[in-house]
Amino acid sequence: MNKKLLILITIGILTLLTAPALAAEQVIINSADWRDAYSGMLYARLEGKQGQFLTSERHARIILPSIPTTSESIEVFSSRNNPFIVGYQALLESEGYQNVEELRMGSGNLEILELLPDIDKFIIVDDSYGYNAISVAPLAALGRYYVLFSNRNNINQIVNTLQDRNVRELIIYGQTERNLREALEEYNPEIINTGDRFENNIEIVERYQEVYRSIHGQPRRQAILTNGEFIETSIMNGADPVLFIGFANVPEHVREYIDSSDLEVGTLIGNELIGTATFIRRQTGLSVFVKFGQGARVPQGAIAQVEDLDRFPIPRYELSLEIAAAMVNTATNNLEVTYRNLAPIATYFRPLSIRVTDDQQSTLVDIVDLTPTFIDRNDYKTMIYPLVDGDGDRIDLLGDEKTLDMTVIYGESPRSLEQEMQASLRLEEVSIIDGAEIEIIDVSFIQRTSTFLVKVRNVGNVDAYATAEIHDLIIDGDTYIFGTDEVVRVRPGRTATLGVETTMEEEDIPNNEQVRVKVLYGERENALIKIKEGIFPFKFAAPNIMLYVLIILIILLLILFFLNKKCRHCNAKNPIIRKTCRKCRQRM
């Protein structure tokens, strides 16, 4: 048996022997689109019906033994473009089911809402962030909200849909398009978005507890533990709130919330996060049950078989960080570690432990700065760690064989370092005193391209390589960091301009009166180990006069070339710059 299971004091298999569904009204979602599965399950819960979703063509038959043929009615929501099985109604009727009705959907989320004419409370989430939909599902089920999925292509559809409703309450949850929020201002929506998905989730759990108290007179003391990667029936039924716990590391503010909350029991859905749940149990004392199976719907043999849970996967961004290189700089007695972000989104990271080993000893390196570091998408970043131990004494590595063992935590935001990476690699040696020196001499903004221009000068005696970052930029109420896409070489005494593209729009400018700039530079292109920072007043870039002069000259030349005049001899049209008529050849 997995040793981690033994660590948990309370481990159970919930719904191991799943009882057959009651002979009630049934809803089955036949779609490979997770938004359809989610919307159909929420509809079933709001209507007091039994809901199930298909996960494959084979699954369409596997679920049948759990649905009584005496069911009052069966509603099948089938995707018009992407069903798991075509003609599911006919299949059900051939198996003896009666009162089957199949609805073929194009845009399931909005079409299912039409079947709920009395719903007047809504939660809107961006469908790019599926975990947000999982976070709000229990609140929606308990408080009778309908969850709408937004994206930049369906804003007008959502606006038109809400105009046909008497909207009593509207929550916009997580990161969404600015245009959507502006279009819905008339409903005075409540916006829940701290920029951190765990903090957002905690806020929703608190909202759930408020609604639960108003119904039952006491808080709910049990929560579902997951990370928002899949839809599962218990997540959608509203009986327990959903609490995100992280993949390999539990964010500190999640642990603090559990300690201060009324929660006593956590139900872990699936066994992928057992390590994280174990850590929670140790740190907080929360009792943890594991729900990882259900009774086989097609029993075989005398011993009851166990099936995996029905889970519908939700798309998510995959974070991926690696150590590309590590070396000891004997000239400075520093450890230089180069990280590489393999993901298409920016990431924050910090080391959890650093151990260096030589021929004689193995020593933990004291990590002085615990501030999470930003690394842009598909980028490299070199960090410097002084080789000192916990007592502040210098660590001298001896011999030919030197190794590094590191544990690094990382995540989408500085407070959400939920992923963990462990690396072990051989340490190389270099002996370099980095003589590069850079100063920031100007920062300006081009509104047309939403780009900051960071002008730097090499004030040293050697070539310098540099890249720039704009920190703490406030865009649409959230704080962001943006970086350049390339490293620029600056020769001694020369200047260079580093362009930092952002998503800032005109309405964000008043919120950024000052601009915090960080330039990373060094003598080696692949080891920018020095940092120069500064805060500059926001200003627009001066217009490029020479460019405007060139454009005007080109326009004048075009005018001269295409402007016509008539020949006084034959009335033929000629370019104004011609002196003789191109038709009669006489002087005009």
* Mean pLDDT, range 237-249, rounded to an integer: 92
* Mean pLDDT, range 146-157, rounded to an integer: 94
Same domain, 342 and 394: yes
pLDDT score for 553: 82
* Mean pLDDT, range 135-164, rounded to an integer: 95
Same domain, 425 and 326: yes
**213 vs 298, more confident:** 213
pLDDT score for 574: 75
Same domain, 403 and 463: no
pLDDT score for 296: 55
**The domain spanning residue 332 has which CATH number?**
2.60.40.10
- Which of residues 382, 411, 430 is at a domain's end? 430
- Which of residues 395, 430, 465 is at a domain's end? 430
Asked, for residue 52, whether it belongs to a domain, the answer is no
Ramachandran angles phi, psi of 357, nearest 5°: -135, 135
With residues binned 3-state (H G I as helix, E B as strand, rest as coil), the percentages for the chain, rounded to 5, are: 25, 35, 40
Same domain, 347 and 413: yes
> What is the residue-averaged pLDDT of the chain?
88
Asked, for residue 359, whether it belongs to a domain, the answer is yes
Range of the domain at 455: 438-537
- Which of residues 430, 447, 463 is at a domain's end? 430
Tallying the residues shown for the chain, one arrives at 588
pLDDT in tens, 411-470: 999 988 999 999 999 998 999 999 999 999 999 999 999 999 999 999 999 999 999 999
Asked, for residue 254, whether it belongs to a domain, the answer is no
What is the pTM for the complete model shown? Answer: 0.83
- Least confident range of 205-214, 306-315, 319-328, 577-586: 577-586
Asked, for residue 278, whether it belongs to a domain, the answer is no
C-alpha dihedral sign at 483, 489, 492, 494? negative
pLDDT score for 11: 40
Same domain, 505 and 562: no
pLDDT score for 17: 39
**556 vs 65, more confident:** 65
Residue 239 has pLDDT above 80, yes or no: yes
* Mean pLDDT, range 20-27, rounded to an integer: 69
pLDDT in tens, 181-193: 999 999 999 999 9
Paired tokens of 54: 């298909």
pLDDT score for 51: 94
Ramachandran angles phi, psi of 157, nearest 5°: -65, -40
Asked, for residue 518, whether it belongs to a domain, the answer is yes
> Where does the pLDDT of residue 14 fall: very low under 50, low under 70, confident under 90, or very high at 90 and above?
very low
Q: For residue 210, what are the CA distances in angstroms to 138, 144, 196, 205, 573?
A: 13, 14, 22, 9, 82
Residue 561 CB contacts under 8 Å (≥ 6 apart), including other chains? 575, 577
Same domain, 518 and 469: yes
Residue 114 has pLDDT above 60, yes or no: yes
Domain total of the chain: 3
pLDDT in tens, 251-309: 989 999 999 999 999 999 877 788 888 888 888 889 988 887 665 555 555 455 656 68
